[in-house]
Amino acid sequence: MKNLLLIFFVLCMPVAACYAQKDSIVLNENNKYAYFKVGSSLPGINLSALATYLKKNLAGLQDIKAATQEAEVSGRGGILVYKKGLLTGQEEGRLDYTIKIDFKENKYRLIITNFEFIPYQRNRFGTFTAVDGVITPLEKKDSRIGEKQLSLYLDRAGNLGIKANELVKNFANNKASVKPGNAEIKKVDTQKW
């Protein structure tokens, strides 16, 4: 009996963890869904290296730029959302987002917002492509997105935010990611020894 209870709890733990992701998505002051995190970082982060690192490791990130004047990294991306089928899933659409990371006073602020759903449909060649001209913000209560779908999309966005925060935190606290400072070269007078 103990073994059956243990197996039951082990199987239920991942399911409970999946449902907790949408709690990390909140509404911001503009009534848009957003993932927001603040963390500590080392001073002098190499922003262009961070942009390259995120583009390489964060799913769906297409356009990202580093602005050294404002000490920020910003960009746009999209992740695919799948319908659950009996055996396999099929593409239901794409969830586009904007990402912004600000650095100030040994801290970083990660904001992922402007979530927009673009539905996919099967074309004449049998592949799924985006429906032209149909973009639905997640905040907008629309007949195209039901409550169950919205919950799944927010879970997916929460997972994306947690992954992005983990990547930024690891990069921001890594000493190898800090720009090397200009080392002062000592001048030696060879005539005096």
Angstrom distance (rounded) from CA 132 to CA 107:
41
Residue-wise pLDDT for 81-123, tens only, equals: 887 766 777 788 889 999 999 888 888 899 999 989 888 888 8
pLDDT 10s digits, 10-52:
555 554 444 445 568 888 888 888 899 888 887 777 888 888 8
- pTM, to two decimals: 0.75
Domains of the chain, residue spans: 23-171
Output the CA torsion sign for 61, 140, 91, 146.
positive
Least Cα distance to 120 among 151, 141, 89 occurs for: 89
**The pLDDT of residue 99:** 92
Q: What is residue 18's predicted lDDT score, i.e. its pLDDT?
A: 46
DSSP-H helix ranges across 60-146? none
Tokens of 184: 């002062």
Do 93 and 81 meet the contact criterion of CB atoms below 8 Å apart? yes
pLDDT tens profile 135-184: 888 888 766 777 888 888 889 889 999 998 999 888 888 777 666 655 45
What amino acid occupies position 102?
D
CA–CA gap between residue 24 and residue 37 (Å, rounded): 9
157: enclosing H helix or E strand: helix 147-172
Residue 62: what residue type? Q
* Token code pair at residue 191: 């005539």
Taking the C-alpha atoms of residue 157 and residue 25, their distance in angstroms, rounded to an integer, is 7
pLDDT at position 61 over 90: no
Strand extents, DSSP E, 31-168: 33-40, 61-67, 72-84, 89-104, 107-122, 128-130, 136-137
Burial of 57 (0-12, 13-18, 19+ CB in 10 A): middle
What is the pLDDT averaged over residues 121-142?
A: 81
Supply the pLDDT for residue 159: 92
56: confidence class by pLDDT, cuts 50, 70, 90: confident
CATH of 23-171, one of 2.70.70.10, 3.30.870.10, 3.30.530.80, 3.30.70.3270: 3.30.530.80
pLDDT value for 182: 52
Maximum alpha-carbon separation in the chain = 88
Q: Do the Cβ atoms of 171 and 58 come closer than 8 Å?
A: no
Question: Closest Cα partner for 154 from 112, 183, 188?
Answer: 112
